[in-house]
Amino acid sequence: MYRDFLVVVLTVMLAVLSSSRGLAADASPCEADPAFHRLDFWIGDWDVYDSPGGGKAGRSVSKKILRGCAVSVDWNEANGSGEIQETFFYEKARRTWHQIWISDAGPTKERRSIEDGPGGSLRFLGEVLALDGRSYLDRSTVTPIHDGRVHQTIETSRDRGATWRTVFDGEYRRRTARGENGKHARRAG
C-alpha cells in the first residue's frame, strides 16, 4: 500500500513538472480547475485552540504550493514540543484528495478523502502503522465555519471502525497583524 501510494505521489509530481514546463507563461491547470480549490478555506496563518478547553494547541500555516497543485501545512505545538509537516494533493483521475503527514517524533500518516460532508466539510481516512508495529484507523474532518474559522476533529479506531475516539477537537482562528489577543505578533527569524 505504501509503495503504491509513493508511485502515485511521484507520478503526480512528474506530471505537474512536465506540464508546467510547457505552460510557464500560462495559468497553472490546477489553478484553473475548481477541484484543486477544495481546501482553499484552510489556507492561511492560524492560531489553533482546543475546542473543549479553549487553550491554545498550536500554530498552523497552510499555503498553496506547486502553482496551486498542492497544499503545504506546517504545524507547531503551542508548548514547542513538536512539529508536523503535511502535504495535501488532489488526484484528478480518482477525484480524491491525499494527505501525507510527518511528525518530528517519528510517526507518519497517509489519508485519502472519503466524503464531502455538510457545511463544506471534507473527511480523510487512513490506516496508520504505529511505531510499535500495530495499526489503527485514523480519520480527520475539516469544516469551514461561516465567520472564517475552521473546525477539525481527528478520531482513531482500534477496532476497524466499529467505535471511534476523538483525539483532537480544534478550532482554527486566523492570526491577525497584531497577533493573539491584540498583542503584536512576533516575526520568525
pLDDT of residue 179: 53
CA distance 122 to 98: 11
pLDDT of residue 112: 98
C-alpha cell at 67: 502553482
- Write the class of the CATH domain 43-182: mainly beta
Q: Could you tell me the pTM of the whole model?
A: 0.78
Over the stretch 47-98, which tens digit does the pLDDT of each residue have?
Answer: 999 987 889 999 999 999 999 999 999 999 999 999 999 999 999 999 999 9
Could you give phi then psi for residue 120, rounded to 5 degrees? 85, 10
Bridge partners for 48 per DSSP:
58, 172
pLDDT of residue 178: 57
CA distance 35 to 155: 25
C-alpha cell at 94: 480518482
Bridge partners for 111 per DSSP:
99
Over the stretch 144-185, which tens digit does the pLDDT of each residue have?
Answer: 998 999 999 999 999 999 999 999 999 999 998 655 544 433
Over the stretch 8-47, which tens digit does the pLDDT of each residue have?
Answer: 444 444 444 454 454 445 678 999 999 999 999 999 999 9
Q: Which residue has the cell 481516512?
A: 125
Contact between 42 and 48 (Cβ < 8 Å) = no
Domain ranges of the chain: 43-182
